[in-house]
Structure 1
């Protein structure tokens, strides 16, 4: 059940549905969301009514207003059961965001059931996020090895060359990290990761890919119930034994989706910041300052630009409007960071940036995997600049292609020219190399990495460039 709502409309105030709404997802938004945020801010102040793919919602643009909503989970709770229009059957049946929001996992769920699930998540993630824990140390070694393998794969052409770091490094690396967390048996994980990739791209094959992925995750969850291991599904089940296979698969879907897209975008954006920033790479990456560099990056270009909605339990004044109980309120991280009253306090040239960014949320509902995601991105960026002594953009920074969705914003591609350094990589399995006859079967299948769909795809990028 949802929380008790005290009213259905803000008495004496114009209802959200009756307002003249500007569409959020426009060509301007695709090109540069900041243009849209500033236009809305000028017209409405720190909170604006907008049309989100055919559904009226409130978009929070102000930094202080965003903090107010994020920090008070009692007045501004999550939980789709609190959405008045949804409860009354007024959402379009074909609303594009419905499938992603209806997966009722830990980041969307509200009500009393959330608290026990959040505790279980924190417990299950602790071995991976505590740097002193043996499991965290093993994971760090695996991420470093995976990063080295990807770099070795795209740089096979020689000491210098060209690569799309988004497709060949930033996107596959966090998917590989997620496969370690989930504890997939054998080579099953690569096919699941490719399906996750298709789902994130939201192309014509996203629907079938999502069905296959959920089936795979359900199968994985059922196997962990029978034979637990040193992995996230097993730890989550131990901390929350009452989870069903379906419930567990939803949580695994969240971990896989959020970890892969968020971390991948963070890696790419940090690489661009280091290459184009006023500080040399040594200043941005030395003395443990890579996390501070990432803080600057998420301040300017957060991967997650809009959070999932919240719903006030009673009519609430926010900005220049009164928000009716049960109205959907979307906090825009990208807009909050661009709030002039907040942005003026941030010095973009400083090596020690503010940690006041909202990329992981704020208050009691902060992302439970933020340390894990930040650590994985940090390893990926570090290995790139250790293995590559020269790294330059192949396009002017203002011509890099971006992809925007209601939730995420990242680069479609990151074309670079590179020069290999003399830094040594970890040993790479023989099957990783892409010889002239790469499609032929290797001589000894037992000694090489299985030619899964993920590795065939990455190898094809090398052959086709």
Structure 2
């Protein structure tokens, strides 16, 4: 059977040599074109090769929503439901295998998953409920972190060049996570840098993951003995029978959430810069609508991790055998003509029926926090910089190759400070230590590894 052909029995998933690979240069450059080619050939469900493993790729909005809602209880995220994995037919060096072996609440079902999600909901509530003191303190902290990063980014002059992804959109959510986790200042910076290394998936990623797991387990043990006003302590309070390993695995879910938020910030910034009407809307307080519009048109989490049917099930034009991997494409679903064709592009408010935050029993619990970080990041950026211009045409921005995220590898811009900010920067000290590094009361200012690293990313003028 040649690549791209379909077997005679549509209920049999083809081998990886009989279908086209999903992750190609075409996909990295313009995934929408790949989606439409697959949709035209196969319909709402297409067989694809994912790094050597055959999977079913779901592109139809109704099909994706149906699987997410799982009202019939036939869809599982438990990797033990994956027949090829259980039978040892997935190579041990398959790049995505560690993602599915984490065994956190993301990949559990039933009572265990419900209990873990309940713990997350309870622990996040103080930080996501605007009426709570912790949420108000966190909001002030996010503003301060954003200003600190902009201070470092713009040190040395009123105009310049910057990579907003590396110097702003990525470190900001990491700093928020550090605060939520409740690490001591110095230890927290080590964790932030290791999260950065792990998300980059470079040669340092395996060692960074091991250090992170050890740090999270150590943190869990510390918070069990000395609880504080932080996420791990609230999770233990909500679920006292957490083992240290269980809690460490849950806390290791944060990097994925942070990567999503980073991508959302970058995608919103590009939309604002590229669309004068959107830039104008920032002044009238409609940035939350801009965030929703970007989540709809360019979802940061383009594809979701596998689901496995526990019985043979009809989906699209095919019958999916029990235990086969099914990958849901949020970006493909949003472009489904039956969904996209009903969207009024001129409406003041875009639809909230999109799937960027998921749906059903595994929907995102941190939606409000991710949106808040994004809104503050964009407001502070455009409030402090009078002019921001892409250093590359929008269609030439470099995207990270990824089976899950639609994330920029870098976001190069040229900027100019507002007159007020130029005066403030001139009057202040360019070497002042940002507040994140000296947040603990009574600690002297110091040049921390994180801030030295961020200063090292500045392009010489």
TM-score (structure 1 length as normaliser): 0.90
SS at match of 2:126: helix
How much has 1:157 moved relative to structure 2?
2.0
How much has 1:13 moved relative to structure 2?
4.4
1:4 is matched with which residue? none
Q: Is the 8 A contact 2:15 2:54 kept in 1?
A: no
After superposition, where does 1:363-442 map in structure 2 within 5 Å? Answer: 363-422=360-419, 433-434=430-431
Distance of 1:278 and 1:346 partners within structure 2: 21
After superposition, where does 1:27-66 map in structure 2 within 5 Å? Answer: 27-66=25-64
The gaps in structure 1 that reach 5 residues or longer are: 1-10, 436-445
After superposition, where does 1:41-440 map in structure 2 within 5 Å? Answer: 41-72=39-70, 74-255=73-254, 257-283=255-281, 285-422=282-419, 433-434=430-431
1:454 is matched with which residue? 450
Q: Is the 8 A contact 1:403 1:410 kept in 2?
A: yes
Bigger Cα displacement from structure 2, 18-27 vs 75-84: 18-27
- 1:311-358: CA deviation from partner (whole Å, max 9, x where unpaired): 112111111000111111111111111112211222334431111111
How much has 1:28 moved relative to structure 2?
1.2
Is the alpha carbon distance of 1:449 and 1:354 closer, same or farther for their aligned partners in structure 2, counting shifts above 3 Å?
Answer: farther
How much has 1:205 moved relative to structure 2?
1.2
How much has 1:453 moved relative to structure 2?
2.3
Distance of 1:253 and 1:295 partners within structure 2: 27
Distance of 2:305 and 2:446 partners within structure 1: 38
Distance of 2:429 and 2:452 partners within structure 1: 10
Q: Is the 8 A contact 1:309 1:330 kept in 2?
A: yes
Bigger Cα displacement from structure 2, 34-43 vs 60-69: 34-43
How much has 1:173 moved relative to structure 2?
0.4
- 1:273-296: CA deviation from partner (whole Å, max 9, x where unpaired): 01111414131x244421210111
TM-score (structure 2 length as normaliser): 0.91
Distance of 1:381 and 1:55 partners within structure 2: 39
The gaps in structure 2 that reach 5 residues or longer are: 1-7, 433-441
Distance of 1:316 and 1:276 partners within structure 2: 43
Bigger Cα displacement from structure 2, 393-402 vs 449-458: 449-458
Is the alpha carbon distance of 1:79 and 1:458 closer, same or farther for their aligned partners in structure 2, counting shifts above 3 Å?
Answer: same
How much has 1:464 moved relative to structure 2?
4.6
Q: Is the 8 A contact 1:174 1:264 kept in 2?
A: yes
Q: Is the 8 A contact 1:46 1:61 kept in 2?
A: yes
How much has 1:424 moved relative to structure 2?
6.4
- 1:76-126: CA deviation from partner (whole Å, max 9, x where unpaired): 222112112212222111111011111111222223210111111111110
Q: Is the 8 A contact 1:79 1:111 kept in 2?
A: no
Is the alpha carbon distance of 1:458 and 1:343 closer, same or farther for their aligned partners in structure 2, counting shifts above 3 Å?
Answer: same
Write out the 4+ residue segments of structure 1 that deviate beyond 3 Å after TM superposition.
11-14, 347-351, 422-425, 430-435, 446-450
Q: Is the 8 A contact 2:271 2:278 kept in 1?
A: no
Distance of 2:257 and 2:412 partners within structure 1: 23
How much has 1:432 moved relative to structure 2?
8.7
Distance of 2:264 and 2:326 partners within structure 1: 25
Distance of 2:259 and 2:159 partners within structure 1: 28
Q: Is the 8 A contact 1:16 1:49 kept in 2?
A: yes
CA RMSD of the aligned region, Å? Answer: 2.4
Distance of 2:429 and 2:166 partners within structure 1: 17
